[in-house]
Amino acid sequence: MGVRSKLWTREEYDRLVAAGAFMPDARLQLIDGEIVEMAPQSAAHATALLRLQARLTKIFPKPTTRGANSRSPSVP
């Protein structure tokens, strides 16, 4: 008899996370039922994300709020 691995559902994985089964800084993903440890983010990747965020913020600025809904017309 060989080694059997368990495939996890999203609900089971979420329960494990909520129960504190993993270290708080663990970088994990659930891929096709397997819990996979992600490689640490490199400095180059982090820099690329920051630059992308800065550019996207210029293209898509945060909407200003007018009351409860920024899409509604302003009422005098």
The answer to whether residue 4 sits within a structural domain is no
C-alpha 35/C-alpha 37 separation (Å) is 7
pTM of the model: 0.53
Is residue 67 a part of any domain in this protein?
no
Q: Is residue 65 part of a domain?
A: no
**Is residue 29 pLDDT above 90, yes or no?**
yes
More confident residue, 66 or 32: 32
Residue range of the domain that includes 37? 10-58
Q: Is residue 5, in this structure, part of any structural domain at all? A: no
Average pLDDT over residues 40-49: 92
Q: Is residue 76 part of a domain?
A: no
Tell me the C-alpha to C-alpha distance, in Å, between residue 5 and each of 12, 35, 65.
15, 11, 51
In a domain, residue 34? The reply is yes
For 52-74, what is each residue's pLDDT tens digit?
Answer: 999 999 999 877 666 555 444 44
Is 46 domain-assigned? yes
In a domain, 72, yes or no: no
Q: How many domains does the chain have?
A: 1
